[in-house]
Structure 1
Amino acid sequence: MSSTLVDRLRAGLPDGAVVTDPAITASYANDMASFCPAEPPAVVVLPRTAEEVQHVMRTATELRVPVVPQGARSGLSGAANTSADCIALSLVKMDRILEVNPVDRIAVVEPGVINADLSKAVLAEGLFYPPDPSSWEMCTIGGNIGTASGGLCCVKYGVTAEYVLGLEVVLADGRLMSTGRRTAKGVAGYDLTRLFVGSEGSLGIVVKAVLALRPAPPPQLVLAAEFDSVRAAGAAVCEIMSGGHVPSMLELMDRTTVRAVNSFAQMGLPESTEALLIAAFDTADPAADLAAVGALCEAGGASQVVPAEDQAESELLLQARRLSLTALEQVKGTTMIDDVCVPRSRLGDLMEGVEAIAGKHALTIGVVAHAGDGNTHPTVCFDAADPEESRRARESFDEIMALGLELGGTITGEHGVGVLKKEWLARELGPVGLEMQRAVKQAFDPLNLLNPGKLF
């Protein structure tokens, strides 16, 4: 590590903001993805202001040092992984909610704000910030913006990109740029705000965000429907959506996931089911909506349909769904969580295909899905200490992505590309698309200092 780099960083940052202790810097090396290379960074920087981020980027540009922006490092693609020559720029201390405006229905926040903290803060004002990734109690708004993350309620309310109105971004050379607006409408110039959403820290560093809010909806009620095949459950999803219903949540758990949740948390879910569909409504009359969807499920072959009678039962079912990925981690100790999104009409094909891939490779692969928008999370469970099983895990992961593209889908619906899916991004975009993406990167970051080696 260069003493010049550390001295220059410390010259413009407060005491404690620059960390060089190897025991600490090593803990910033990676996010939660498997099979993604990482090395401890040369130095970790923890700024508290936009001006401090600007100082870091000016120093990095002058010394030609790569910078990896980080949030809570809860990501699943290796986008926050560092190299030995880089600065890990952790934004977790920029965690202020600067404004909640009920009239304009916006919140202005720094990137280190925890998703759940924002949700609670705006709810106190009668407002609602919809994007709710499964990691919402730990993930940051900056990380959500970087990966264009979604969550359980996307089927009705949409994803992060639809709620980011404006940004303040520190560019690679240290300049501060504002994009977007505070207004409900605005079409002045290219939509650079959307360009930064999902860019995984490769174009600039978000230091402030203007987020759209909605009025808080009524409490939701939940229904669970058991099916004897994932094909039947997928068909029921199609009937629900084509019937004009607008659930606030429509989630699907396969047999493997249900059993994992029961083993992990003793939830008492029906282990005899092959697929458990969970639907929720936050409408004025959720019971009526659940009854209509329940009838569609029964007509589609559901063996049992159980609507929750109150909020407590609803929360129990939602907790079971939120625990899915954590529970699957306990099966073998390590997981690779895929993020393939397909058209809703192909959901049954994808889940059957994953089951065949699991059998082919003699692996446990659980599937949990945001069924309402076709975003599936096939989760490969394996023993990382077993080289042969690890090899099969990686092969199965790639086969699932290939299947997703074959079905007209995409390699990632909300987790991002990072390191894990670089090769697959090139396949999805094609040579012309990839060339244009690289041209955008070159325009914003000509020295390739921001999160190099990610995306492509």
Structure 2
Amino acid sequence: MDARSSDAPPAPDAPIRLEPTEPESIDLGAARSALAVLLPADRVSLDPAVLAEYAHDDAEWADFAESVAVVFAESVDDVVAVVRFAAASGLSVVPRGAGTGLSGGANASAGAIVLSLERMTRIVEVNPAERYAVAEAGVINDDLRQAVAAVGLWYPPDPASYRISTIGGNAATNAGGICCVKYGVTRDYVLGMRVVLADGSVVDLGRRTAKGVTGYDLTALMIGSEGTLGIIVELILKLLPLAGREERAVVGSFGSLEDAGRAVAAITSAGVVPSALELIDRTCIEAVDAWQHLGLPHGADTMLLATVDEPGAVGAERADAVAALMRDAGALGVERGASPEEVDRLFLARRLAYPSLERLGPVLTEDICVPRSAVPEMLARIQRAAADHDVVIANIAHAGDGNLHPLIIAPEGDDAAKARAKLAFDRIVDDCRALGGTVTGEHGVGLLKLPGAREELGERVLGMHRAIKDALDPRGVLNPGKAFPE
């Protein structure tokens, strides 16, 4: 693969400093005409169908507006041109990867240009000796994983959307995934990045070395900032050796969510660190099986899916320990799998849970994270919220790190059910915070979690957020209204 150029990023023009302009005062027709001239025709779309498709991500019920235009950037220069144009025209920019987000973080707002980075798909460099890769923001997570696997390396972050989500989007939301219980989240694998700032300047942050503490950790600041502080266009990603892992799956079937939650707590307190520990409940099991006919155990209320990846006898002992802990917690049955095919089969239900549920109706997705010891109590509170508000709530979870995804389903067109779902959503957020949790573990705040974020952060910390935003984006050009309550 190509070696990354050592050239410095292009020098910006003088920063643009204009007074904020209200969207109502912008001549959108003139802005669209000027934008169409600024970039090649195939990179700018004013097609109403495209504007509608790119106006929102996969979050149900998050507000969005029609954008000024959709731009498909193919280079850093394209991104710079759009940001400078937006700043000079009184517009804003909403950056977007594959649009797989579940919090409304990529939703268009009035007077916004939606800037898609999905065409920036170059894997610029893979360095086996130093164990890093350099890739553009539009590279699909799984494409990167396959590319580095070809030289014996592994990129661990694996959100459920890994086959379709981009690494730029993963970094913007600090995405987690199934294996993060042992291997960490996206932030743990980003060494550095190239970022376009709100004035159109381009900066390189971070490093390529194994260690480095020069200055503030601005790389970490950008990760999880949801495109509100800068637009990530390229990433330097830490890799691990692929060799030395030998996955074994252990899947327990339980008669109740509470029993499965107790098994999670028991595994955690025993000091066993599985490489994955996932939960799906009866609603998910039945939805997946109705769609894909996998022969899942319909007699079970909840399935707990674990893997261990230590090689040889150590891995076998860990798998035995997990199976024993599941049985002691009341598992109705425990299934084992050691071959890659068996592991994939046993975990397929978890991968398919969300799209299976979407077939039942609009899904309002929670993303709470509680202390692992509080998982049983939080699952019980979710069930009570479902009963009290008369809504269907399916549960999937990265149970090993306390990250729960209650999925609230409301039939299409049923406004009363939608209102009850919103009440249940808010109650679950409150219960999560009462148990010492956080309102988002990996999806980001976006638009859906703004009220919960306000309560969690408090005014003093929100003031710190505003100060950082004002320092880097004083005119609010980048993804306004997202990530924290302004």
Under TM normalisation by the shorter chain, which class is it? over 0.9
CA-CA distance at 1:283 after TM superposition:
1.2
Q: Distance in 1 between matches of 2:144 and 2:246?
A: 18
Q: Secondary structure at the residue paired with 1:136?
A: coil
Q: Secondary structure at the residue paired with 2:359?
A: helix
Question: Which residue identity does 2:62 align to in structure 1?
Answer: C
1:287 aligns with 2:313: no
1:272 to 292, 295, 299: 299
Question: Which residue identity does 1:407 align to in structure 2?
Answer: L
The aligned residue for residue 371 of structure 1 is 399
1:433 aligns with 2:456: no
Q: Secondary structure at the residue paired with 1:323?
A: helix
1:128 aligns with 2:154: yes
Q: Which is worse superposed, 255-264 or 160-169?
A: 255-264
Taking structure 2 as the reference length, the TM-score comes to 0.91
Q: Distance in 2 between matches of 1:415 and 1:32?
A: 11
Question: Which residue identity does 1:228 align to in structure 2?
Answer: G
The aligned residue for residue 260 of structure 1 is 287
CA-CA distance at 1:309 after TM superposition:
4.6
Q: Secondary structure at the residue paired with 2:121?
A: coil
CA contact 2:252–2:332 (8 Å) conserved in 1: yes
1:104 to 116, 122, 130: 130
CA contact 2:32–2:68 (8 Å) conserved in 1: no
Q: Distance in 1 between matches of 2:41 and 2:390?
A: 53
Q: Distance in 2 between matches of 1:208 and 1:280?
A: 32
1:18 aligns with 2:44: yes
Q: Secondary structure at the residue paired with 1:420?
A: coil
CA contact 1:20–1:43 (8 Å) conserved in 2: yes
The aligned residue for residue 251 of structure 1 is 278
1:75 aligns with 2:104: no
Q: Distance in 2 between matches of 1:41 and 1:261?
A: 35
Q: Secondary structure at the residue paired with 2:263?
A: helix
CA-CA distance at 1:219 after TM superposition:
4.0
CA-CA distance at 1:257 after TM superposition:
1.8
Q: Distance in 1 between matches of 2:383 and 2:61?
A: 22
Matches within 5 A, 1:153-232: 153-217=179-243, 218-232=245-259
Q: Distance in 1 between matches of 2:316 and 2:301?
A: 25
Matches within 5 A, 1:59-74: 59-74=85-100
1:302 to 295, 314, 331: 331
1:326 to 350, 355, 368: 355
CA contact 2:205–2:218 (8 Å) conserved in 1: yes
Q: Secondary structure at the residue paired with 2:70?
A: strand
1:357 aligns with 2:385: yes
What CA deviation, in whole Å up to 9, does each residue of 1:204-242 have, x standing for no partner?
A: 101111011101153412111122222222222222222
Taking structure 1 as the reference length, the TM-score comes to 0.97
CA-CA distance at 1:94 after TM superposition:
0.7
CA contact 1:13–1:47 (8 Å) conserved in 2: no
CA-CA distance at 1:10 after TM superposition:
4.0
The number of aligned residues is 455
What CA deviation, in whole Å up to 9, does each residue of 1:231-267 have, x standing for no partner?
A: 2222222222222222111111122222222222212
Q: Distance in 1 between matches of 2:211 and 2:126?
A: 19
Q: Secondary structure at the residue paired with 1:202?
A: coil
The aligned residue for residue 234 of structure 1 is 261
CA-CA distance at 1:453 after TM superposition:
1.5
CA contact 2:246–2:311 (8 Å) conserved in 1: no
CA-CA distance at 1:454 after TM superposition:
1.3
Q: Secondary structure at the residue paired with 1:232?
A: helix
Matches within 5 A, 1:361-440: 361-440=389-468
CA-CA distance at 1:364 after TM superposition:
1.1
Q: Percent identity?
A: 46
CA-CA distance at 1:398 after TM superposition:
1.0
Q: Secondary structure at the residue paired with 1:441?
A: helix
Q: Distance in 2 between matches of 1:204 and 1:361?
A: 40
CA-CA distance at 1:3 after TM superposition:
4.3
The aligned residue for residue 20 of structure 2 is none
Q: Distance in 2 between matches of 1:101 and 1:12?
A: 36
The aligned residue for residue 340 of structure 2 is 311
CA contact 1:68–1:450 (8 Å) conserved in 2: yes
Q: Distance in 2 between matches of 1:238 and 1:184?
A: 34
CA-CA distance at 1:113 after TM superposition:
0.4
CA contact 2:157–2:176 (8 Å) conserved in 1: yes
The aligned residue for residue 152 of structure 1 is 178
Question: Which residue identity does 2:455 align to in structure 1?
Answer: R
What CA deviation, in whole Å up to 9, does each residue of 1:56-83 have, x standing for no partner?
A: 1111111111110011111001111112
1:345 to 373, 390, 396: 373
Q: Secondary structure at the residue paired with 2:40?
A: coil
The aligned residue for residue 35 of structure 1 is 61
Q: Distance in 2 between matches of 1:393 and 1:238?
A: 28
Q: Secondary structure at the residue paired with 1:256?
A: helix
Q: Secondary structure at the residue paired with 2:253?
A: strand
CA contact 2:247–2:338 (8 Å) conserved in 1: no
Q: Which sections of structure 1, spanning at least 5 residues, go unmatched? A: none
What CA deviation, in whole Å up to 9, does each residue of 1:375-417 have, x standing for no partner?
A: 0000001113011011011111111111111111000000001
Question: Which residue identity does 2:51 align to in structure 1?
Answer: T
Matches within 5 A, 1:83-94: 83-94=109-120
Would the alpha carbon gap of residues 366 and 28 (structure 1) be closer, same or farther in structure 2, given more than 3 Å must change? same
Q: Which sections of structure 2, spanning at least 5 residues, go unmatched? A: 1-26
CA contact 2:62–2:448 (8 Å) conserved in 1: yes
Question: Which residue identity does 1:432 align to in structure 2?
Answer: R
The aligned residue for residue 16 of structure 2 is none
